[in-house]
Amino acid sequence: MSNHGLILRERGIESADIAQGTAPGLSDAPIPITSVLVANRGEIAARILRTVKAMRLRALLIAHPADAHAPALALADAVHWFDPASSPVSAFLDIASIVQAGRAMGADAIHPGYGFLSENADFARAVAEAGMVFIGPGHEAIELMGDKVRAREFVASRNFPVAPSAIEDHDPPTFLARAEALGMPLLIKPSAGGGGKGMRIVRDPAMLAEEVERGRSEARRYFGDGRLYAERYFERPRHIEVQIFGDHHGNIVHLHERECSIQRRFQKIIEEAPAPALSDALRSAICEAAAGIARAVGYANAGTVEFIFEDGAFYFLEMNTRLQVEHPVTEAITGLDLVELQIRIAAGVPLPLVQEEATCSGHAIELRICAEEPANDFAPSIGTILKLQMPPHVRFDAGVTEGSQVTTAFDPMIGKLIVHGRNRAHAIEQARLALRQVVLFGVQTNMPYLQRLLSDPDMIAGEVHTGLIREKPDLAHEPELDAELLGRLSALAAPLVPELRREVAQIPALHAALGGWRN
């Protein structure tokens, strides 16, 4: 069997084409799924729908009126709208409403995307009980591995390395004492969910109880589950994760590792594949450990096994039983469409490759472009997207388009810019070039900040760790611009703003003929 990633590249398909609806399918064989409902929003909804359309399946979507200008709407064959009176976030957590929408729209399958209900076992079970296919692992695997506490206990019982921790469920009345006994600093984490929500660093024992309550409240808000656990916080570790796939025929492969150490408040902002500065032996050991964990679970569909790595040792962190935000970098180095793999595996199709065929080529970097003000403690930036133009030959998975409103209702991520290079140095060069070519007006973004990060000597050398951003606060400060230069740049940019062009076009001809004359 030939490697499908190589087939895509040999046929002249760029990695940026994958998920843009132009890459060929993994197989022409029909599957018992003809329609897919995407139970999500933003850039991941659009990304999934592109693959659904490319597979010639019926593309269905649920949406909240807060996303009235979302790009995903134009890709859907049919849309079910939530009640505008409902909370935007809570609407995407309403299992009964989403399942009912799927049945009413005639969906054969539901793809949960990431976040929201993607790691909710009750949702996976409800979808199956309603006669639809859940595009992800079964509810049993989510209950085991989507629950961070049960996952750690399971992995430890199979003799894989796990960092010391204190689990609230073991004995809730003694949780604080057991957590404190691990030593400071501590990391408080929710048992369900991910994405940094509900996570708190505790350095002072006197603040432990207060931070636990804050973490519990946030976890309940985002995941409907306030259970917590604590683990010893590593100050300068690396965050390395491995993409795995399993099918319903007992086959497991890994699709190599990703480096996700560049994080701000537990949110990844730059991801890359493969991970830099790893020996071949360590790279192989981490990937094989991930595949071994998946085999022990009997895992089917896409998943990510995450590890903390420090001083040559790695420890199991958690398993995400879903597609990851950063999956495009794996697609870029393998040439595979991971969403199509998910759909075909959910339909019962065996994995199309064995481990020896899962080769990778070059280096990929993903930049999360967010509407925020780095110099103002990364405060959200809200407004209307007036102009959005991406450079050619890069992949941009966007959750907004021109005219979209950026509000505080959802995560501030505007989209993800993905580049691919022949090696890491070339990928960094491509990423910096792409950022300089992006045109985005209407909200302030973190793009200048990302430029500075990509120019940092430690980043260039691959000496990355999860504390790098915290140790370099000066990178968040915007350099002072000369007033004259700022005025010239503003004058150049102004004609690109549609609202200004419309105002100019509406000036009466008689007044326009006066030119720059004034009294």
Catalytic residues: 322
* C-alpha closest to that of 381 among 416, 411, 407, 399: 407
Judge contact between 284 and 292, C-beta under 8 A. Answer: no
Neighbours of 8 (CB within 10 A): 22
Q: Is 386:498 a contact under the CB 8 Å cutoff?
A: yes
Residues in contact with 345: Cβ distance below 8 Å, sequence separation at least 6, in sequence order: 245, 246, 247, 248, 300, 301, 302, 351
Residue 509 and residue 501: Cα distance in Å, rounded? 15
- Report the C-alpha gap between 344 and 247 in whole angstroms: 9
Neighbours of 327 (CB within 10 A): 30
Q: Secondary structure of 277-318 in the HEC alphabet?
A: CCCHHHHHHHHHHHHHHHHHHCCCEEEEEEEEEECCEEEEEE
Alpha helices in 165-243 (DSSP H): 175-181, 208-223
Cβ neighbour number for residue 277 with a 10 Å cutoff: 12
Residue 370 CA: distances (Å) to CA of 185, 264, 376, 441, 465: 29, 12, 14, 13, 21
Task: Give the Cα separation of 234 and 244 in Å (integer).
Answer: 25
> Taking every pair of C-alpha atoms in the chain, what is the biggest distance, in angstroms?
85
Distance CA 135, CA 322 (A): 9
Residue 77 vs residues 35, 60, 365: alpha-carbon distances, Å: 10, 6, 32
Report residue 228 as tokens. 């917590």
Other Cβ atoms closer than 10 A to 392: 7
User: Residue 468, class by beta-carbon neighbours within 10 Å (0-12 exposed, 13-18 middle, 19+ buried)?
Assistant: buried
Chain position carrying tokens 């329609």: 35
Supply angle C-alpha 97, 101, 104, rounded to 5: 135
